[in-house]
Amino acid sequence: MRNGGLKARIAVIPGDGIGAEVTPQAVKVLKAVCSSAERPLEFVEFDWGADKYLREGVTLPPGGVELLREEFDAILFGALGDPRVPSNQHAADILLGLRFKLDLYVNARPVELLHDRLTPLRDRTEKDIRLIVFRENTEGIYVGVGGVFRQGTPDEIAVQEDVNSRKGVERIIRYAFEYARQNGVRRVCMSDKSNAMTFAHGLWQRVFKEVRQEYADIDSRHLYIDTLAMEIVRDPSQFDIIVTCNLFGDIISDLGAQLAGGLGLAPSGNIHPGKTSLFEPVHGSAPNIAGKGIANPLGSVLTSAMMIEFLGWKPQAEVIRSAVRAALQENYVTPDLGGNKNTVAVGDWLVNFVGKNHLAKQLK
């Protein structure tokens, strides 16, 4: 069960494109690290994605949310998105559906440089790029409130509402401050666009002003999102925690991912503390490389480390992270990172590393 128990049930949703290629690598590594630690993980795979949608017309199956919520401790997710589904309907129903219906209000996206050579920024090193983005994950412009009017005519109008509740804004800002306190981190930056989005982000301003007063021990500040985008490139070392809305968090986390080596390396967790949460790499289904066997599995593998840490298995998460660091050190990587290894070979290398590491510990 969750939070430190001996056994955990994991729902695996590999999804589309490279999601189906990288997720099995993460599962393989998890099995290696947890069997060696005598902590069984039970995996149940779900075939939700574009193929099923095109075959059966089903996106998120009836009862699916309840099943995940009641019978699983966590969900390991790949990616959704397929050129055969231009509407992206299945991704909206499944991915956004799970985020909303499981109330996974924290989208935690760490940006951590694991090897100096991976950043495109000149003269920046591992110590400069180590932050986490907390993206509000249950509201904002993602909720699907809106519509089109006079579609297909020259007078067509499209409206998409940005929905922000006091409860929603407060809980993500509070989470960021609590995380800072609990992890001994000093600096929180809230980012919005309250100078233009005066109603929606005026609320973010008011809530931030209130909540920060309770956290005088934390160094907190505000930046408009356009300035944040500039500052994070100019000097990423000034940030520990960034908290922002759903859309801005989506964008800034891809920017952050690139500062730390690219989308192929970036993990994320969609979290509601104490409840069944969903873990996925930041990247999508990458149709441009899908089926070639060259997708980088490290983002998914680091995601699995976040997942088991959430389940209370920190030592095992650290073993996975050290395996990834070792692969980067050895340059045993896929082409996106300048290597020539394929997806499965990198997964196998990590499994082997974990096995040896464990053996070495046992022999001590």
Instruction: Report, as residue numbers or ranges, the catalytic residues.
Output: 142, 193, 226, 250, 254
Give the one residue of 109, 283, 321, 341 binding ligand NAD; rule: CB under 6 A.
283
Q: Does residue number 18 form part of the binding site for ligand NAD (CB under 6 A)? A: yes
Q: Show the binding pattern over residues 38-77: x = contacts ligand NAD (CB under 6 A), - = does not.
A: ----------------------------------------
For 84, the token pair is: 């055969």
**By CB under 6 A, residue 327 contacts ligand NAD:** no
Kind of pairing between the strands at 241-244 and 130-136: parallel
Distances, alpha carbon 209 to alpha carbons 174, 190, 195, 222, in Å: 11, 10, 16, 10
**Distance from C-alpha of 107 to C-alpha of 271, rounded to nearest angstrom:** 6
Write the binding mask 244 to 273 for ligand IPM: x where contact by CB under 6 A, - elsewhere: ------x-----------------------
Residue 240 interacts with Mn ion (CB under 5 A)? Answer: no
333 makes contact, choosing from Mn ion, ligand NAD, ligand IPM, none, with CB < 5 to 8 Å by partner type, with none
Residue span binding Mn ion (CB under 5 A) among the ranges 85-93, 204-212, 234-242, 248-256: 248-256
Burial string for 104-138 (b: 16+ CB within 10 Å, else e) reads: bbbbbbbbbbbbeebbebeebeeebbbbbbbbbbb
Q: CB of residue 98 vs ligand NAD: minimum separation in angstroms?
A: 11
346: contact with ligand NAD by CB under 6 A: no
Distance of CA 20 to the CA centre of its chain: 17
Question: Closer to ligand IPM at the Cβ: 27 or 257?
Answer: 257
Closest C-alpha among 176, 75, 95, 96 to residue 140: 96
Strands 130-136 and 106-112: antiparallel
Residue 356 CB, nearest approach to ligand NAD (Å): 25
> Could you tell me the smallest distance in angstroms from the CB atom of residue 300 to ligand IPM?
13
Interface pick for ligand NAD out of 263, 302, 323, 327 (rule CB under 6 A): 263
CB of 259 to ligand IPM, least distance (A): 16
Query: 138, 109, 125: which is closest to 242 by C-alpha?
Result: 109
Asked if 261 is part of the footprint of ligand NAD (rule: CB under 6 A), the reply reads no
Q: Which of 8, 12, 26, 91 forms a contact with ligand IPM (CB under 6 A)?
A: 91
- From the list ligand NAD, Mn ion, ligand IPM, none, pick the one residue 283 interacts with, judged by a Cβ distance below 5 to 8 Å according to partner type: ligand NAD
Give the x/- contact pattern for ligand IPM in 92-111, rule: CB under 6 A: ---x----------------
Q: Which of 180, 143, 172, 170 is nearest to 159 (CA)?
A: 143
Q: What is the DSSP track for 303-323?
A: HHHHHHHHTT-HHHHHHHHHH
Please report which helix (H) or strand (E) contains residue 346, including its range. Answer: helix 343-363
- Residue of 280, 302, 347, 353 interacting with ligand NAD (CB under 6 A): 280
Q: Judged by CB, which is closer to ligand IPM: 92, or 121?
A: 92
Nearest residue to 141 via CA among 244, 273, 227: 244
95 touches ligand NAD (CB under 6 A) = yes
Sign, Cα dihedral of 259, 261, 267, 273: negative
DSSP structure string for 90-145: HHIIIIIHHHHHTT--EEEEEEE-SSGGG-SSTT--GGG-EEEEEEE-SSBGGG--
Half-sphere exposure of 344 (CA within 13 A, CB side): 4
Name the residues that contact ligand NAD, by CB under 6 A.
18, 22, 79-81, 88, 91, 95, 263-264, 280, 283-289, 295-296, 299, 336
Name the residues that contact Mn ion, by CB under 5 A.
250
Name the residues that contact ligand IPM, by CB under 6 A.
91, 95, 250, 282, 284
